[in-house]
């Protein structure tokens, strides 16, 4: 799963053009289509608990705009980045959209960001905020598969220290 997330992030960085010259932080990636990140929930975490944890994590950093526990959907309002160096920039806004799959076994989320150039909004995502939210969700409700062991090394072989 981590490999897929790293691959997805690499693809996003390749296809997205940076927001240079727009007054956005370096973490802004301009793109027309948003990509959902997905993570499995720990089997021990029931939906009600997962929902409460997701809402708690999101409301620590964002104001909520829409929330539906029944549908497993939450969206924040656009607001300034919660990273202190971005707070002075009123032209740069971020929000999060999160939803549970219908079987309630996965959480999907995306970070939508936009920057105002004086005439129009340029849409994209913020890779720093996405990484931060991913970490928070994984630590709270995410099911991280165990790392696969490397190939077995015979006991009589020489190994580098």
Per-residue pLDDT tens over the stretch 15-71 = 344 444 677 888 999 998 888 999 999 999 999 999 999 999 999 999 999 999 999
**Does the residue 155 lie in any domain?**
no
Task: Give the angle subtended at the CA of 61 by the CAs of 103 and 65, to the nearest 5°.
Answer: 65
How do residues 85-128 score in pLDDT, each as one tens digit?
655 567 899 999 999 999 999 999 999 999 999 899 999 999 99
Predicted local confidence at residue 33, as pLDDT: 84
Domain span including residue 96: 2-140
Q: How does pLDDT run across 114-123, given as a tens digit for each residue?
A: 999 989 999 9
What 3-state DSSP class applies to 68? strand
Rounded CA-CA distance 21/103 in Å is: 43
User: Quick check: is 63 in a domain?
Assistant: yes
Q: What CATH number did the domain enclosing 125 receive?
A: 3.30.530.50
Q: Determine, yes or no, domain membership for 41.
A: yes
User: Domain total for the chain?
Assistant: 1
pTM of the entire predicted model: 0.75
Residue 150 lies in a domain: no
Instruction: Indicate whether 13 belongs to any domain.
Output: yes
């Amino acid at each position: 799963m981590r490999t897929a997330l790293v691959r997805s992030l690499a693809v996003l960085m390749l296809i997205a053009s940076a927001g240079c010259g727009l007054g956005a932080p370096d973490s802004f990636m301009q793109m027309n289509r948003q990509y959902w990140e997905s993570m499995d929930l720990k089997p021990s975490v029931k939906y009600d608990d997962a929902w409460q944890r997701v809402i708690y994590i999101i409301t620590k950093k964002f104001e909520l705009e829409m929330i539906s526990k029944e549908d497993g959907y939450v969206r924040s309002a656009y607001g300034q980045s919660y990273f202190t160096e971005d707070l002075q920039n009123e032209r740069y806004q971020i929000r999060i959209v999160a939803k549970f799959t219908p079987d309630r076994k996965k959480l999907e989320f995306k970070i939508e960001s936009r920057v105002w150039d004086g005439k129009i909004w340029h849409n994209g995502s913020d890779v720093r905020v996405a990484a931060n939210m991913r970490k928070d969700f994984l630590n709270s409700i995410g099911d991280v598969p165990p790392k696969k062991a490397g190939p077995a090394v015979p006991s009589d072989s020489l190994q580098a220290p």
